[in-house]
Structure 1
């Protein structure tokens, strides 16, 4: 398991982190100091593997000491707020119909009501996380060139593994750049080739960032060079193989009209087909212990479930923090759900944070027969009169720190539930949508088969395209994504792609700060560049409208 890889290899990382201490953590162009000591650190072969573990851990933990106390990102009062997946999830879910959060913090309520500005703490935190990941990868790549390996006389074992390790690092950098591209548009591209300690970087356009991410992912999957990811299905769990890169490419191409004004649906079909046709992944179709097959994807032993392409492993002993699935398992639970005293048994948590709920339009997408509708409604109202009242809006305990045998995770505070970044089901949905949008290389009959596979797994049968069932249309695919990928950090980009995020075509409770929902401006389809970034890099320009 990757959690064991992480716990074994992360131990020396505090020393490495001290060597590469950042002068600031919220600047894309900031470079590390203290590089003179790098030769001493990397004389130890294990340091390279430790550094690679740190790159993966950047998506998971919040600092050098768990659960808090020595953060990677300074300037955020609550270290748990700085966790990568928590930030990514909140920026994709809270401004949509899928989730509201009860907390009184200003960044939370600004997201709930579509009223964020360039000083929102979640935005500066996410920008900083992307920057931190990029800088860490660049450091690794600078220090692992063939020349550096020769200079340090590293072992043949490390030399043999290094091309794949470098490909994995490049994947993680491309993943973060895709996140930055989606959220902020054009951001500076900084690579290992840029000089250390130079002038603040110049901004890049959204098109340039798109092309950079695309070229990097193709280079580490389709090139004849040495630096390639493992073939589909052949990576250690929790580490990237080519399927993970193909999923980023598929998302890039699915949203290309939004990102660069160019349709790339045929490419989305090509890369999802590579995953689907490989046979390396299959849908989880069997339930256990009273949990449905779908529910098993979000339990404390979901590393054993089928259909997970790339996950962020959580381990109650070794990856302790207040983000990721720790946040998702706890924030969706609280009174009156725990009034029976069975909160530990039912959800595998020690205390409910009384935060996350779903709005009525999203809840209403699910029929009572749909296994994917995982809601708690007792003593909750569907209508949300008060955003800060946990009882306003149904709770949705989709993520649980309980195994498929009904046993709680090893730690009731910090879950063992892995976060599924990419799943096979999403590849099915991308394929189907790309076909319906006119992409070549696929077929509507295959799209219908794939969607019916998902519907059958959800307990709904193979009803799409039948006389009594729904038709396979783009609107149906949007709704199906809202069911299958509920609370998986896709809703904002989906609504943007369908032209329903801004404007008044689609309203949901508290959109635009009005209980019944109101139109919001088109410029909010991009987040602003955080004010802190504009202050430290005069080359940056604010996104229009802010």
Structure 2
């Protein structure tokens, strides 16, 4: 079996337990034993078994309408166009990309439930472990506190002012804490538990919180400290990044795309992952979310994809050097042809699926519903029904073209696959740490060191000339290319003061652009309306009242 024996096996066990529970029909079955604190939490294996419930909370990362979706759709990377009668969904998707956030958008409620569901599970297990007189419990409590800190970090980044709950037995509804209070709490938790966490990179720690994963969370807190608290912490961010790079057991993979294979447990670069499995730990649905309906025949999928998530054209074009490809700014079909060239473009274009599409037998794939080509040269497929993914997006509403937009190809798709993917979902990766160190050093004035680090990432990408100078613009662009759809782009744009600027692609389609300045209330999502109704002690973020 691939991957980790412990957490992976525990997740499988949780899935099997659900199956066996539903098959029980004898409601008066005699109970011969009970699991209690006295007779269960005695060995490391029993503690790890209990930890599975906390880690399984991460399973919501890889599917539609949750935390990943709100971060990516609100960035300049990803959009879901309304394709006639498909994907309007009451306008909630357009709200996200056009920065017209409303508290009743169900994506915010889904994200909140994901985050605080994970926090609640961590609190429950911490409470259980604290009640034990067992020397093994301290290390596992530290692991749970680090995982809880991750959920709180994501919540604070997305919603800013959030409740902080650590007592599982508390009966009173929690009030809202400021973003600075949340930042301080997360930092304090990490400072306390990092010395307690394991440092090994092996089967016993795969998919679990280690010192290096917790250091990455802290590095990211420091990297964004000026946004979160008003006070920059570049030197502290650099120190954590240096420790991970110099002392951690990680190295860049020779090939970028190998970090995202179906069997990517062997990556030397991935610091923290969630180990999905198409049978026992499902929920990684990108194959459904991005591929065209007709793509079922390309991969012999057991289900028909949804033809949803697309890449913003300008973001796709950022991978192609116009000085080497003079036609890239011309008609879309020249750009599309260039994307198939070798030796002239960023090797990380493996992130995308573009160009003519084929059945698994090699024959041309046909979409009978494809829009006809028109005289403008940009609307429709010039080949007619044969399906071609083109980077060009004509509009995001109301008649987005069915074949428009490069599709997300970052994770390898399985031939004969299901709606659930088995690739392990990458949460933290060494290249992010290297680029974070580069940025911290750049902010501190060490531009030559920063330049060398960025060029290390460009060299691995292949076919790219090294930068001769480093600017905020090309540093942000390099982060974008390397970290595509890894839930960092919205955060990066805010930190670089580019979020929602006038150049925002499709941000105000068919209406005046909503341009907002750095520090705008739109840098935070609204507290979901159902949470405010359920807990009057919560306060809505400014600008959404």
Does residue 376 of the first structure (1) align with residue 353 of the second (2)?
yes
2:291 counterpart residue number: 333
Q: Distance in 1 between matches of 2:438 and 2:444?
A: 10
Asked if the contact 1:115/1:513 (under 8 Å) is kept, the reply is no
2:410 counterpart residue number: 398
1:361 counterpart residue number: 314
Q: Distance in 2 between matches of 1:91 and 1:280?
A: 32
Structure 1 counterpart of 2:163, from 170, 183, 188: 188
Does residue 450 of the first structure (1) align with residue 447 of the second (2)?
no
**Deviation (angstroms), 1:41:** 6.7
Structure 2 unaligned segments of length 5 or more: list them.
19-32, 82-86, 321-343, 356-387
Asked if the contact 2:500/2:514 (under 8 Å) is kept, the reply is no
**Deviation (angstroms), 1:507:** 1.9
**Deviation (angstroms), 1:461:** 4.5
Q: Distance in 2 between matches of 1:515 and 1:59?
A: 37
Q: Distance in 1 between matches of 2:389 and 2:268?
A: 33
TM-score (normalizing by structure 2): 0.78
Q: Distance in 2 between matches of 1:311 and 1:51?
A: 19
1:34 counterpart residue number: none
**Deviation (angstroms), 1:277:** 0.6
Q: Distance in 2 between matches of 1:461 and 1:15?
A: 48
1:176 counterpart residue number: 151
Asked if the contact 1:507/1:518 (under 8 Å) is kept, the reply is no
After TM superposition, the structure 1 = structure 2 runs for residues 460-471 of structure 1, keeping only pairs within 5 Å, are: 460-461=463-464, 463-465=466-468, 471=469
More deviation, 447-456/179-188: 447-456
Q: Distance in 2 between matches of 1:515 and 1:380?
A: 27
The 3-state SS of whatever aligns with 1:60 is: helix
Question: Structure 1 pair 492/514, CA: closer, same or farther in 2 (3 Å)?
Answer: farther
TM-score (normalizing by structure 1): 0.77
Q: Distance in 2 between matches of 1:433 and 1:248?
A: 16
Asked if the contact 2:63/2:286 (under 8 Å) is kept, the reply is no
1:202 counterpart residue number: 175
What is the RMSD of the two structures over their aligned residues, measured on CA atoms? Answer: 2.8
The 3-state SS of whatever aligns with 2:140 is: helix
Structure 1 unaligned segments of length 5 or more: list them.
18-36, 63-78, 151-158, 223-227, 286-292, 403-407, 466-470
After TM superposition, the structure 1 = structure 2 runs for residues 97-496 of structure 1, keeping only pairs within 5 Å, are: 97-102=76-81, 103-106=87-90, 107-145=92-130, 148-150=131-133, 159-192=134-167, 196-222=169-195, 228-231=196-199, 233=201, 236-278=205-247, 280-285=249-254, 293-321=255-283, 326-335=284-293, 341-344=297-300, 350-367=303-320, 368-374=344-350, 375-378=352-355, 379-381=388-390, 382-387=392-397, 388-402=400-414, 408=415, 411-438=417-444, 443-461=446-464, 463-465=466-468, 471-496=469-494
Q: Distance in 2 between matches of 1:412 and 1:243?
A: 33
Q: Distance in 1 between matches of 2:524 and 2:480?
A: 21
Q: Distance in 1 between matches of 2:102 and 2:215?
A: 33
Asked if the contact 2:272/2:427 (under 8 Å) is kept, the reply is yes
Asked if the contact 2:289/2:307 (under 8 Å) is kept, the reply is yes
The 3-state SS of whatever aligns with 1:422 is: strand
The 3-state SS of whatever aligns with 2:228 is: helix
Q: Distance in 2 between matches of 1:270 and 1:415?
A: 36
Q: Distance in 1 between matches of 2:60 and 2:74?
A: 25
Question: Structure 1 pair 191/180, CA: closer, same or farther in 2 (3 Å)?
Answer: same
More deviation, 445-454/530-539: 445-454
